[in-house]
Structure 1
Amino acid sequence: MSPAMTTTEVTYEKLTNIADNGDLQHVPSSTINYKLRATANWVKKPFKQRSFWERLATLDLASDKCYVVQPQNPNPPPNLNVWRERLWLVITIAPALLIQALWYYIIPETSYFHTWHPIFAFVFYHLAFVAFTIRLIKHLTYYMDVYGTFDEHNRPRDYVPDKYVPRLIISVLIYTLARTGGGLILGGYNRHAPPSLGHTISWLFPVKIGLWLISLDFFFYSYHRAVHTFPFLWKYHSKHHSTKHPTPLQSILADDIQEIIEIFLIPLLASLAMPLSAHEFWIAQCILMYIEGMGHSGVRAFWTHPLIGEVLRPFGMDLTIEDHDLHHRYGKSGQNYGKQTRIFDRIFNTISERVEGMEK
């Protein structure tokens, strides 16, 4: 396993490049001091000696090189093929919907087992969501290994601290259970209506889901900026910022209050603004998980939102991996509060200009 973690302090110097470009209005006035890295002795144990929680957290580990400082890469980050990512999402999201549709097609309508009871649908889609999450983590850590990560010449990715490992896994379970159940409830799951285009899934579902994600981003931006602005609220968000260089699963690491707001309240408000069917919600929550993991992976590539990135790019409102990666480096000082788009960061002048992640 990787060597023990460094205990030296590192200062983030790349902000001088922004100063050379004369654009300091969106950047904190001081450099970023990296504090001592949290203890993560669990990664040094052989797999068989790890606890149940630690074995599950092992899924989030990339290769060893992602956890040690690397030589500075002089080349610009490559453009990730967005169509290849869209194909990956289709291949990974569609099977659950196809299985239910085929079940309804194959099992006779006269059979008691023809329709899926809401409880059965909940169990099935929850397991499918967990499977999607595992595949997503492997997908992201693969790219971390291939392309490296942002700011890796200053400081590598952070391990999950020992004290947060059980909490992280429990948070993942709460997230997947709540989002699956919430999607069925908010989407008005109808056991007699299997997934089908033009029926339970609109032909315009990419537009509907895109609008839902923008609505969600508005409510998230409002809450997120508030917890960074007001000291009495920061305590509810500070656990999520225990890392300046997170990994995919650490996107879910949060305080109890933050979990309630992000897992329950914000999706509820977004669904009131832009209603989705139960099967559309399944697609939306998978894309949402994809963006959450992507934004916390730090993959050194120009990797934008697969659904709405190209639409927002001409307006400078598209989101890429480095945007949220910089947000974590800034810590409480904030910037880049949006997590699906930069629409509201652009409107309210809270954008931090990119350092490495410029489009080629």
Structure 2
Amino acid sequence: MTTSHSNPQDSMRSTWRRNQSQWTIYHKLLDSGNLHHIDLDREVPKFSKDTKVSYLADWQLNRFVLFYTVIPFAIHEVYWRLVGNNFGPLIAFFFYQQATKVMMTRALHSFKDLGHSIGFLDGDNHDRDGVPDVGVRKTFLTITAGGIMRAFATVYLCYSTNEPPSSLHWGFLIPEIGLYGLILDFWFYWYHRLMHVVHGLWRFHRTHHLTKHPNMLLAGYADIEQDFFDILGIPLMTFWTMRCIGLPMGFYEWFACQQFITFSEVSGHSGVRMYASAPGPLTWLWRLFDAELVIEDHDLHHRFGYRKSHNYGKQTRVWDRVFGTCIPRIECAKDNVDFNKKIKLALY
């Protein structure tokens, strides 16, 4: 659907998929992997807001992320044992960058199928925004840069050719993944909140809020200053915080942590109409305090938030609870969720 803005570059009009006459290499690359939130000419069901919402269990989400984390570790370990040498830094960079790309491509396709099956949030009022005609290049470059920059930072800071995946600090892995999400969300919460309330910072965040009904590809639809902090700044602050409190945060641990974070960042913009939390080993704990994050929480941040907003966290609602910036859910309120109507998240 079209959003009207005085600046043509602010338009969220998305017609390019049906008009190939003006396609560039960026349009072709996005289309080549079928990287779309819906398939054209395929029905998307619409439900009233009081229709019960389905439930996607935590273990399904955790299984998905762990599957696409353990598989590259296993391939890497087999190579080490068969060849007798480790990947060089350059090979490790390409290998793990591609491993994240595979996970996110599979996640996008899985969530797209779910959207066609169970619909999208606020679907009775508004369709999901597509990648805008004016933003195809920006979207593709952000997706590509995000994977490259995070993989480079992880390899540059942590990778050692003397350490195969079996050297991973297994005893620390589960608490590291849980704490990484909490600490990252603390830094992200304040960075995100300040971007909304400080006039001089809002201009770097407003582009991201042009979409009121985002899809997974629009998770990184933002100006370059925000992209830098989202992709590198906040993860680096979290990494050094973890190191400062005495956790090992080696290459493989950090890669695993980032797999969970990346999945949550993207799935949180999917808008699929279901009760699904951000994956992680501490979700059950946050839920005890009504502080777990579900897809609708960030969806409401986009739908109703502009300069003044709420639900600033993107991994949990812990800091939103602490600092009083949560708002009630609508379609995913507990009495509107059918926990017996369970969804399966396809692995492949």
Q: TM-score, length-normalised on structure 2?
A: 0.86
**Using the alignment, how far apart are the partners of 1:189 and 1:71 within structure 2?**
48
- 1:266 aligns with 234
Question: Contact 2:46 / 2:120 at 8 angstroms: preserved in 1?
Answer: no
Q: Which residue identity is paired with 1:346? A: R
- Map of 1:90 onto structure 2: 66
The partner residue of 1:300 within 259, 266, 273 is 273
Distance change >3 Å, CA 263–CA 71, structure 1 → 2? closer
Residue-by-residue CA offset, 1:116-150 (whole Å, 9 max, x unaligned): 11111111111222222211211221221222111
Distance 1:80 1:282 in 2: 25
> Deviation of residue 37 (structure 1)?
6.6
What are the within-5 Å matches in structure 2 for residues 1-360 of structure 1?
Answer: 5=1, 38-45=12-19, 50-58=23-31, 59-64=35-40, 70-72=46-48, 74-107=50-83, 109=84, 114-186=85-157, 188-196=158-166, 199-275=167-243, 276-307=249-280, 308-332=282-306, 333-359=308-334, 360=337
Equivalent residue for 2:343?
Answer: none
Which one-letter code corresponds to 2:15 in the other structure?
A: N
For 1:43 and 1:271, the matched residues in 2 are separated by 39
Superposition deviation, residue 87 in structure 1: 2.0
**C-alpha distance in 1, partners of 2:142/2:62?**
27
Contact 2:296 2:332 survives alignment (8 Å): yes
What's the CA shift for 1:105? 0.9
Q: Distance in 2 between matches of 1:118 and 1:301?
A: 40
- Partner SS, residue 246 of structure 1: coil
Give the direction of change, closer, same or farther, for the CA distance of 1:284–1:126 in structure 2 (3 Å limit): same
**Using the alignment, how far apart are the partners of 2:50 and 2:311 within structure 1?**
25
Cα deviation 1:245-264 (Å, max 9, x = unaligned): 00011101111111111111
Cα distance in structure 2, aligned partners of 1:343 and 1:65: 40
How far does residue 69 in structure 1 lie from its aligned partner after superposition?
Answer: 8.6
Distance 2:228 2:111 in 1: 26
Distance 1:95 1:159, change over 3 A: same
Q: Which has the higher contact order (CA 8 A, sep 6+)?
A: 2
Gaps of 5+ in 1: 9-35
User: 1:204 is paired with a residue of what secondary structure?
Assistant: helix
Seen in structure 2, the aligned counterparts of structure 1 residues 7 and 295 have a Cα distance that, compared at 3 Å, is closer
Secondary structure of the 1:149 match is coil
Check 1:248–1:62 CA distance in 2 against 1; reply closer, same or farther (3 A cut). Answer: same
Letter in 1 for 2:189: Y
State the Cα distance separating 1:318 from its structure 2 match.
0.5
The 3 A distance-change label for structure 1 pair 240 and 212 is same
Q: What whole-Å deviation, never above 9, does each CA across 1:64-96 have from its counterpart, x for those lacking one?
A: 489979352542211112222222222222211
| Distance in 2, Cα, partners of 1:316 & 1:38 | 34
- Asked if the contact 1:68–1:156 (Cα under 8 Å) also holds between the matched residues in 2, the reply is no
Question: Does the aligned pair in 2 maintain the 1:212–1:273 contact within 8 Å?
Answer: no
Deviation at 1:55, TM superposition (A): 2.9
Q: Does the residue aligned with 1:245 lie in a helix, a strand or coil? A: coil
Over the matched positions of the two proteins, sequence identity in percent amounts to 31
Change (3 A) 1:203 1:60: farther
Q: In terms of mean alpha carbon deviation, does 286-295 or 219-228 score higher?
A: 286-295
Higher-Rg structure is 1
Determine the C-alpha separation between the residues in 2 that align with 1:210 and 1:125: 21
Preserved contact between residue 69 and residue 153 of structure 1 (Cα < 8 Å) = no
